[in-house]
Chains A and B, each alone.
Chain A
Amino acid sequence: MVFLPKTRGHGGRGVALVVATLLLGVLAAMPARAVPSFSDQTGEACSACHVGAFGPQLTAHGRAFKLTGYSDGQASRQFPLVSGMAELSLTHTAQGQEGGAASGFGPNNNGAVDQVSVFVAGRLYDHLGVFSQTTWDGVGHHIAWDNTDLRYGREATLAGLESILGLSVNNSPTVSDPYNTTPAWGFPYAAAKLAPHPAAATLIEGGLAQRVVGMTAYGLFADLLYVEAGGYRALGGGPLNTLGVAIADGQVVDGTVPYARLALQHEDLQQSAALGVFGLSAHVFPNNDRSAGTDRYTDVGVDASYQWHPNRNHTLGANATAILETHSLPASVALGLADSASGHLNSYRLNTYYTFQQTYGLTAGVFRSTGSGDAALYGSDPLTGSANGKPNSSGYVLQADWTPFGKTDSWAAPWVNLRLALQYTGYTQFNGASRNYDGTGRNASDNNTLWLLTWLAF
Chain B
Amino acid sequence: MTHFPICARRRSILAAMALLAAGLPAAGRAADATRGADLFDNYCGECHTTRAGGGSRSAPNLFGLMGRRTGTVEGFAYSDANRAAGWVWSPETLDTYLAAPKTAMPGTVMKFQGVKDPAERADIIAFLATLHG
Which residues of A are interface residues toward B (Cβ below 8 A)? Answer: 42-45, 47-48, 61, 64-65, 68, 72-75, 155, 157, 162, 223, 267-269, 310-312, 408
Contacts and interface: CB of A to CB of B under 8 A. Distances in A.
Given A311-B38, A311-B42, A74 B76 contact: yes
Contacts of B115: 269
Contacts of A155: 109
8 contacts: A43-B58, A72-B109, A75-B57, A269-B43, A269-B115, A310-B42, A311-B38, A312-B45
A47 B47 CA distance: 11
A223 B113 contact: yes
A72 B111 contact: yes
Contact of B57 (A44, A162, A269, A312): A44
Q: Please tell me the size bucket of the interface on B.
A: 10 to 19
A74 B77 contact: yes
Contacts of A162: 102
A73 B113 contact: no
Output the residue of B43, B56, B76, B113 with the most chain A CB within 10 A. Answer: B113
Nearest to A48: B46
A26 B58 CA distance: 29
A72 B77 CA distance: 12
Contacts of A45: 46
Contacts of B111: 61, 64-65, 68, 72
A160 B116 CA distance: 20
B45 A43 contact: no
B86 interface: no
A155 B58 CA distance: 17
B41 interface: yes
Interface in B37-52: 38, 41-43, 45-47
Contact of A42 (B42, B58, B77): B58
Interface in B14-50: 38, 41-43, 45-47
Contact of A43 (B41, B56, B109): B56
Interface in B76-92: 76-77
